[in-house]
Structure 1
Amino acid sequence: MGIIQGNIPNNIKLFSEGKRRALERYTNGYQTLANQRVQAVLTPEGALPFFLNELKRKSFYLAILDKGVVTWVGAYGERGRAYTNSLFSIIGTGETFSRYDKVKLVPLGEYIPFEQVLGSIINRLSPLKANLVAGEPNQLFETPFGRAIVGICYESAFAQHFQRQAAAGGQFILTASNNAHYSKAMPAQHHAQDVMRAIETDRWAVRATNTGYSGIVNPHGRTLWISRINTYDVHTHTVYRRHTQTLYVRWGDWLTPMLLVSIITGISIRYVNLDDWLSK
């Protein structure tokens, strides 16, 4: 597996200089990794800020046709008159093998809560003019290597999102994030969330971010590689597909309700016993 961390600042990312820099860095990174004979390359969330049809006319897409290595590309998808924050699986022939649309959108950053009421008061933080829409919550992401578990950005905070995909046969985790707009503490917390998702599902996790921290996490939660912050980086690592089903994957959040019931039962019994003792 190859990872590219493009390190494109958010303040230029969606403008001409940012797009030029993204095409240059991700194309060069892809070619470097392909020459190292990786089987697949993962890019971050919104790595190439183009709609897929636009991307097919760019240097990155031509590099895929030239090298023939599968890539998971963070770009924008079209859905009617709206657009999606998506991860595309593109095979060596240039065909789109599969697509995942981000489900958990960021309030104010990607959508306005109660938009009919607040839309005229709160300006959308994204400079994109079209309307961003969420993906369907029951998506499954097929790849040439088997079914993957996918999370974009802060979907890593939603354990059930990963549990559902693992229960449906997901064999490894791919997370794509930006993180460029936060201090160093937040990317570290984000990495820790993916560590937990790897442990819960007993899966290898591959993380590609724009500015850090990208990383490789094994099913025991051990970070085998982590990038530096605010740097351009490419990395290769071997990851493995797994088919195990942990108790959490099988049954979901059964432990917390069980502990809650046990605590309430224990307190109730203690209260009844105390009441009996006082009455005597």
Structure 2
Amino acid sequence: MPTVYRPWMGYIAALIAGCLTTLTFAPFHLWWLGPVAVALVYVGIHDLTPGQAALRGWCYGFALFASGTSWIYVSIHDYGYTGVPLAVFLTALFAVTLALFYAAPFWLYRRFTGPRLACLSFAGLWIASEVARTYLFTGFPWLLLGSAHVDSPLAPLAPLGGVFLLSLVTVLTGTLGADLLLRRRWWALAPLVVLWGLPLLLPAQWTQPRGEPRQVALLQGNLPQLMKWSAEGQRNAVNTYARLTREVPDGTDLIVWPETALPMFESQARPYLERVQTTLPPDAALLTGIVERDAGGYYNAVIGLGNTRGSYRKEHLVPFGEYMPLESLLRGIIAFFDLPMSSFSAGERDQAPIHAAGLTIGTAICYEIIYPDLVASRARRADVLLTVSNDTWFGRSIGPLQHIQMARLRALENGRYVLRGTSNGVTAIIDPQGRVTTRAPQFETTLVSGDVSAMQGETPFTRTGSWPAWLLAGLMLLPGLRRPGPRRDTAR
């Protein structure tokens, strides 16, 4: 590939590309910038040594996470009792570390692949980096490139292959487009037409409603996080959710309270919950997030009242927020490492779905909704998906809007309604095509109601999960692989 920039220009381009990628996600929704960002880091990469390529990848990753996960600062500073300098340092450290997930594949790309069909091998390694980020060290699949496409023309690919297929097509669009425009490789036009034409041929809906719709009400208490666990905060929570429950429209079948709606243990909350249960309409169900405690530890859970059967304990916990890695070393160093309720235990794998108001519900608490294969495993045994969250930790940042965008993609991938109940937004009902049918305003004490249907059938993604997209990405690496040997080219 001809030289387009000097290495230092490529590093600047990579920083710009990382910021552009953030603009593809909510609340900006400029999804078409995704291929542009990929092209910026791809062009000229064959003029670099493996080390220079790694630095370019790191620059991209640092800019992406520094801009796209800036809400980390809000969690650490505003709610983690941490001063500004230390909060800035920890946020920067977070971005610096996650950027290594792009440095490594860029190094591998220059070390083990050549210019033969480079557009394919670059895309394959990009997806490998997203998969690694999803699973290594408990995983962080936030800002996966494909998550931006829930509203783009590529959206019909989500039920076929999930977020990783969307990422793969986005990267291929960038690499093929760069080859077409800069190297005049006209053959690249044909696969571009296929990639963007395929969604037009796919079914609009892979699943079908079963039975009569159910009326659902989602309650949003909007309680201050910093006083939530105080005695006054507990009283406010009890009074707020009891009042909102009394205001639920007649005929409601299912009521949802958000994650840890009542900031107390389930055993402490039981008298209040029993009083609320007496006010429920006949055959109605109420699901609430709550903290359970038993001999095995503390659990972030969802339990039910009324016409319900079963409960759920969160399986995939948030590092630092719900459990402390290297606890013996980190506890007590700074206040952020001593957050309340940061000693949870994980629930068992393969828990049975909750049955409530005639619906079979697959549950994902807060952070779990961003894991595509975890949610698909729940959707295989459920006809509706539920996620409850406490997005108060994100404040007024872009975090809650990115969070609901990923919840919308889970609905689209699995052809299921998603009920999203949150403490202060974004509380919403999402239909099986990923569209928000009704939502509550952020930062208001309110409720929203609407109809949902049990969905029968499975999308291809629900049946298989992500492995077909992973396999396709792996096959794309093969044509470009070469045996490493003495380098004859030098960076220019």
Q: Which residue of 2 aligns with 1:223?
A: 436
CA RMSD of aligned residues (A): 2.0
In structure 1, distance between residues paired with 2:427 and 2:469: 31
Displacement of 1:125 after TM fit?
Answer: 4.0
1:225-249 CA-partner distances (Å, limit 9, x unpaired): 1221111111111001012111111
Question: 1 or 2, which has the higher strand percentage?
Answer: 1
Alignment-mate amino acid for residue 400 of structure 2: P
Residue 241 of structure 1: SS of its match in structure 2?
strand
Kindly report which structure 2 residues correspond to 1:201-216, keeping only aligned pairs within 5 A, or say none. Answer: 201-216=414-429
In structure 1, distance between residues paired with 2:319 and 2:478: 38
Select between 259-268 and 192-201 the one with higher mean Cα deviation.
259-268
Matched, 1:14 2:203: no
Q: Which residue of 2 aligns with 1:175?
A: 387
Q: Which residue of 1 aligns with 2:312?
A: 100
Contact 1:41–1:70 (8 Å) recurs in 2: yes
In structure 1, distance between residues paired with 2:256 and 2:292: 17
Residue 247 of structure 2: SS of its match in structure 1?
helix
Alignment-mate amino acid for residue 41 of structure 1: I
Displacement of 1:184 after TM fit?
Answer: 3.2
Q: Which residue of 2 aligns with 1:73?
A: 288
Matched, 1:52 2:52: no
Displacement of 1:118 after TM fit?
Answer: 3.0
1:205-224 CA-partner distances (Å, limit 9, x unpaired): 11000010000111111111
Q: Which residue of 1 aligns with 2:250?
A: 36
In structure 2, distance between residues paired with 1:142 and 1:213: 23
Residue 198 of structure 1: SS of its match in structure 2?
helix
Alignment-mate amino acid for residue 52 of structure 1: E
Alignment-mate amino acid for residue 263 of structure 2: P
Number of residue equivalences: 263
Residue 108 of structure 1: SS of its match in structure 2?
coil
In structure 2, distance between residues paired with 1:261 and 1:101: 35
Assess, with a 3 A threshold, how the Cα gap between structure 1 residues 22 and 259 changes in structure 2: closer, same or farther: same
In structure 2, distance between residues paired with 1:185 and 1:14: 25
In structure 1, distance between residues paired with 2:267 and 2:399: 33
**Aligned counterpart for 2:401 among listed residues 188, 191, 194:** 188
1:143-169 CA-partner distances (Å, limit 9, x unpaired): 1324211111111111111111112x2
Q: Which runs of 5+ in 2 are unaligned?
A: 1-215, 484-492
Contact 1:86–1:100 (8 Å) recurs in 2: yes
In structure 2, distance between residues paired with 1:105 and 1:67: 32
Residue 421 of structure 2: SS of its match in structure 1?
strand
Assess, with a 3 A threshold, how the Cα gap between structure 1 residues 97 and 150 changes in structure 2: closer, same or farther: same
In structure 2, distance between residues paired with 1:81 and 1:104: 16
**Identity rate of aligned residues, in percent?**
25
Contact 1:90–1:98 (8 Å) recurs in 2: no
Contact 2:438–2:449 (8 Å) recurs in 1: no
Contact 1:47–1:74 (8 Å) recurs in 2: yes
Displacement of 1:18 after TM fit?
Answer: 1.3
Q: Which has the larger radius of gyration?
A: 2
Displacement of 1:255 after TM fit?
Answer: 3.2
Displacement of 1:81 after TM fit?
Answer: 5.6
Displacement of 1:195 after TM fit?
Answer: 0.4
Question: 1 or 2, which has the higher helix percentage?
Answer: 2
In structure 2, distance between residues paired with 1:226 and 1:67: 23
Contact 2:292–2:298 (8 Å) recurs in 1: yes
Alignment-mate amino acid for residue 90 of structure 1: L
Residue 46 of structure 1: SS of its match in structure 2?
coil
Q: Which residue of 2 aligns with 1:278?
A: none
Contact 1:110–1:125 (8 Å) recurs in 2: no
Q: Which residue of 2 aligns with 1:257?
A: 470
Q: Which residue of 1 aligns with 2:363?
A: 150
TM-score norm. by structure 2 comes to 0.51
In structure 2, distance between residues paired with 1:234 and 1:155: 23
Matched, 1:116 2:328: yes
In structure 1, distance between residues paired with 2:309 and 2:472: 43
Contact 1:149–1:170 (8 Å) recurs in 2: yes
TM-score norm. by structure 1 comes to 0.87
Q: Which runs of 5+ in 1 are unaligned?
A: 273-280
In structure 2, distance between residues paired with 1:193 and 1:16: 34
Contact 1:184–1:229 (8 Å) recurs in 2: no
**Aligned counterpart for 2:242 among listed residues 2, 27, 30:** 27
Select between 252-261 and 81-90 the one with higher mean Cα deviation.
252-261
Contact 1:140–1:147 (8 Å) recurs in 2: no
Q: Which residue of 1 aligns with 2:89?
A: none
In structure 2, distance between residues paired with 1:28 and 1:184: 29
Displacement of 1:57 after TM fit?
Answer: 1.5
